[in-house]
């Protein structure tokens, strides 16, 4: 039986993936910062007729991560698939965003994943088998406007993961990046604050929220991401990057030059910006 540990399992993509993978016959351990956060996960799993084992794990704490890995290994014998899903949003243009915000976002989205990778790799190397799946974002490929701290964390995660894939290939360990576009999860409702200290970036913030408002009209669903996670872990033809969700494929496959990207940001009227965005990326954001 495949044993999987997934972080951020108390909500959104993590919760759906935990239940869906358990439904496929996997032994799934759902990590979360505190047990009381797992009530909804337990209720959904019960309705689905499956079991997801809750595990306490704060990905910002190396000791907590180590304890979670040790617990699952002792209970199940080994961890076959490590799914680093825990994440937070982060809006803001570079000028307005405090460095503390960058640090807080990186501590979860990048360092949190790295803590889990470092803790689980020794047992995978020893067995010469295992899979590590890092949940990134299409913002790890495109510098989404006015989301500077989030983009920074996901671009960094992509770079680390691409390097990791080469590093562990000799040990027969599979590595995959999942790059969702817009998916209907609670993170959207939680991620509405923007810093406005300078007062100089109203257009950037308008365009940020217009993009997400359009995507949320027909968003991807967590179940779609869960299916992609399963495929990335089990396919006979593995690859590094997988896209899903609204806008995922279009933005990942873009062929926009640096000059076109900078010129897009210089467009003054929002309507003209939306038209040009559609021309460049094949997405209607009006």
Q: Is 150 a catalytic residue?
A: yes
Cα separation, 184 vs 248, whole angstroms: 13
Instruction: Give pairs for 263-267: CB < 8 Å, separation 24+.
Output: 265/145, 265/204
Pairing label, strands 52-56, 27-32:
parallel
Determine contact, residues 7/55, Cβ cutoff 8 Å: no
The closest of 202, 47, 175 to 116, measured between CA atoms, is 175
Burial code (b: 16+ CB inside 10 Å, e: under 16) for 154-170 equals bbbbbebbeebbeebee
Determine contact, residues 30/18, Cβ cutoff 8 Å: yes
Q: 199 — alpha (psi -120 to 50), left (phi > 0) or beta? A: left
Q: Which of 29, 102, 111, 150 is catalytic?
A: 150
**Would you please indicate which residues are annotated as catalytic (active-site) residues?**
150
């Amino acid at each position: 039986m495949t044993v999987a540990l997934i972080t951020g399992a108390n909500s959104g993509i993590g919760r759906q993936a935990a239940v869906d993978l358990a439904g496929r016959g996997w032994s799934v351990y759902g990590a979360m910062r505190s047990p009381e956060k797992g009530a909804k996960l337990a209720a959904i799993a019960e309705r689905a007729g499956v079991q997801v084992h809750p595990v306490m794990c704060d990905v910002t704490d190396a000791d907590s991560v180590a304890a979670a890995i040790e617990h699952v290994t002792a209970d199940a014998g080994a961890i076959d698939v490590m799914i680093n899903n825990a994440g937070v949003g982060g809006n803001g243009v570079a000028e307005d965003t405090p460095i503390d915000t960058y640090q807080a976002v990186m501590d979860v989205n990048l360092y949190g994943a790295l803590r889990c990778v470092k803790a689980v790799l020794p047992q995978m190397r020893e067995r010469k088998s295992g899979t590590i799946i890092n949940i990134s974002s299409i913002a790890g490929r495109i510098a989404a406007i006015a989301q500077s701290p989030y983009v920074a964390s996901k671009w960094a995660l992509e770079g680390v993961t691409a390097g990791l894939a080469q590093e562990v290939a000799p040990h027969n360990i599979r590595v995959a990046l999942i790059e969702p576009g817009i998916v209907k999860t609670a993170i959207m409702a939680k991620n509405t604050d923007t810093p406005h200290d300078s007062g100089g970036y109203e257009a950037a913030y308008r365009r940020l929220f217009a993009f997400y408002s359009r995507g949320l009209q027909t968003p991807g669903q967590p179940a779609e991401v869960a299916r992609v996670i399963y495929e990335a872990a089990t396919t006979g033809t593995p690859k590094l990057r997988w896209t899903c969700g609204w806008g995922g494929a279009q933005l990942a496959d873009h062929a926009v030059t640096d000059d076109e990207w900078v010129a897009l940001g210089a467009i003054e009227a929002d309507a003209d910006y939306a038209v040009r965005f559609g021309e460049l990326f094949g997405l209607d954001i009006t």
